[in-house]
Amino acid sequence: MKESPSVVWGIGILILLSMDSCSRYIDRVAGENKMQINQGDITFYPDSNILIYRSDIGLKTDDVILKPKPFYVKLPKGIKWYTMTNSTSFLFYYADHQSVIINIDLSDFSTKRDSIYEPAISELAAFINTFPLDDSKYNVGNIRINPRRRQCIVRKDAATILLYNINDNKFDKFKSYLQEFRFL
């Protein structure tokens, strides 16, 4: 059975469109695009993303109200999904099970020294288990450590940032961007 050229072209276009829709990134832009989030905004640029987080909603534990800490962070392109929880936990999920996890300690701001290191497997597991997990396909708790990928912890004051399962060819960019993290 011979198909007409218009049917073949139509099928080809449908295949291309379906392949493109499977690789959508929330940060795909040609110029600058600012997206409001609950407590701040994410600005998408052609070469990077900037999250400025600000919140005035305190978290109450027993009789203490913990104030959120506003911050600035530069993130690489290619964000597929993100979540933010309680002004303390921020997850950015990238293609191929790569993730950036930011944990903010609201109770202690000045006792931690800035550092960068490769964590032990036990520390990775403990850190991931402190993150609020859900049942979505982006649940970082279900992502196995890939031994051919890089893991790194960046500490900046009260922030602990985990680079998780980062491809070797992208690791330097992730690391340099996240070293720009700062509290406002």
pLDDT tens sequence across 119-148:
998 888 888 877 666 666 666 767 787 889
Place of tokens 């279900």: 142
- Give the per-residue pLDDT at 7: 46
pLDDT at 44 over 80: yes
Average pLDDT on 49-76 reads: 84
- Give the per-residue pLDDT at 127: 83
> Higher confidence at residue 72 or residue 141?
72
Amino acid at 92: F
- Give the per-residue pLDDT at 89: 86
- Give the per-residue pLDDT at 14: 38
- Give the per-residue pLDDT at 28: 66
Query: 168 Cβ partners below 8 Å, 6+ apart?
Result: 148, 149, 150
Place of tokens 């534990």: 61
User: Per-domain residue ranges for the chain?
Assistant: 5-183
pLDDT at 150 over 90: yes
Count H helices and E strands in the chain, helices first: 3, 13
Residue 101 — pLDDT band, cuts 50, 70, 90? very high
Return the DSSP state at 62. T
Residue 12 — pLDDT band, cuts 50, 70, 90? very low
Provide φ and ψ at 71, rounded to 5°: -150, 165
- Give the per-residue pLDDT at 139: 67
- Give the per-residue pLDDT at 134: 65
Structure tokens, 68: 């959120």
Nearest to 29 by CA among 45, 43, 50: 45
